[in-house]
Amino acid sequence: MKDRTLLALWLVAVVAVGFVHDPAWLAALLALALGLMLALHGSDAWKMAARGLAAVALVNVTVSAAYAIWAWTAGESWTTFVLRLNLRVFLLALLALWLTRNIDLVRAVDRWPSIRFLVVIVLGQIRALGRMLAEHRMALVSRSPTRPSLKVRFASAASQVSVALEKTEGRAEALNQGMRARGFFDDRA
Amino acid sequence: SVLVPVWLGVVVAAVLLALVLGLQPWLASDAAGQPLFFPFGPRVTLPVIVLPHLAIGVAEGMLSWFVLSALEARRMPA
């Protein structure tokens, strides 16, 4: 119930932020979100804010700079749009990061079996591949008395890709057989 | 047989995204003419997004071809 409520609140907040266009209001909402995150998570809130900033910085700086240069050469004002864009996108990124930290996505969608099925498959793949990459990284570090050279790191990356491909293929086949056995595919014709 | 559909998939998605972004200034601007969500029209978004994706589509097609070839070579006889 808690997770479903969080998901619903997040969806409402994202849609609502899309209707707010005044930079002053967006700044106030951003300050409110940061304040709530600080109250709930302490200094971790600043780490989340830094992650959010890093996630949106490249695209936002590119679009903002391009628009500012175009507006400046055309003799038009650019500050309102640049503020509006950056405040809104940063606020949405913060909301998304806060949600991913606090929600159990499987529980949040457990009322809708088809969506839950997809979420479980995706999360399972992410966790399995993440664990495999972590194990490879630890194996490389533990077998290297000094920092591995670029050549060694490339060879390790190539072997990780090969193992990932093999595991993904194996899991896809097992999943396919499991779904076929449970009647998901009707390919008798 | 792999390159063309993968290339088309990438390029069609890029064209659609460029059009969706490019329509934003026309769909949503304030009274002063400032865009509400995205500032550039299709004359900017189409070349900026689609042109690099013509090359990205080729790279993705080659990667897909490589992966499918590797899987085919590893396939056990039935």
A80 vs B contacts (CB less than 8 Å): 30, 32, 34
Over residues B27-70, the pLDDT tens digits come to: 888 887 788 898 899 999 999 999 999 999 999 999 999 888 88
To the nearest whole angstrom, how far is the Cα of B37 from the nearest Cα of chain A? 7
Digit-by-digit pLDDT tens for chain A (189 residues) are 688 999 999 999 999 999 999 999 999 999 999 999 999 888 888 998 999 999 999 999 999 999 999 889 988 888 888 999 999 999 999 999 999 888 988 898 888 888 888 898 888 888 888 898 899 889 888 888 888 888 988 888 888 888 888 887 887 788 888 888 887 776 665
Q: Note whether B71 contacts A: Cβ–Cβ < 8 A.
A: yes
Residue from the list B34, B71, B74 with its beta carbon closest to the beta carbon of A81: B34
Fill in the amino acid letter for A186: D
Give me the residues paired with residue B29 across strands: B35
Q: What pLDDT shows up at residue B31?
A: 82
For residue A92, count CB atoms less than 10 angstroms from its CB and return exposed for 0-12, middle for 13-18, buried for 19 or more. Answer: middle
B33 vs A contacts (CB less than 8 Å): 76
B27 vs A contacts (CB less than 8 Å): none
Quick one: closest CA in B to A168, which residue?
B71
Q: Note whether B32 contacts A: Cβ–Cβ < 8 A.
A: yes
A63 vs B contacts (CB less than 8 Å): 38-40
What's the alpha-carbon Rg for chain A, to the nearest Å? 23
Q: Note whether B72 contacts A: Cβ–Cβ < 8 A.
A: no
Residue from the list B30, B33, B40 with its beta carbon closest to the beta carbon of A21: B30
Q: What pLDDT shows up at residue A110?
A: 87
Q: Note whether A81 contacts B: Cβ–Cβ < 8 A.
A: yes
What's the alpha-carbon Rg for chain B, to the nearest Å? 19
For residue A67, count CB atoms less than 10 angstroms from its CB and return exposed for 0-12, middle for 13-18, buried for 19 or more. Answer: buried
Residue from the list B35, B70, B71 with its beta carbon closest to the beta carbon of A81: B35
> What are the helix and strand counts (H, E) for chain B?
3, 0
Q: What pLDDT shows up at residue B77?
A: 65
| Interface-testing mutation among A17, A21, A81, with chain B (most B C-beta atoms within 10 A) | A81
ipTM of the complex: 0.70
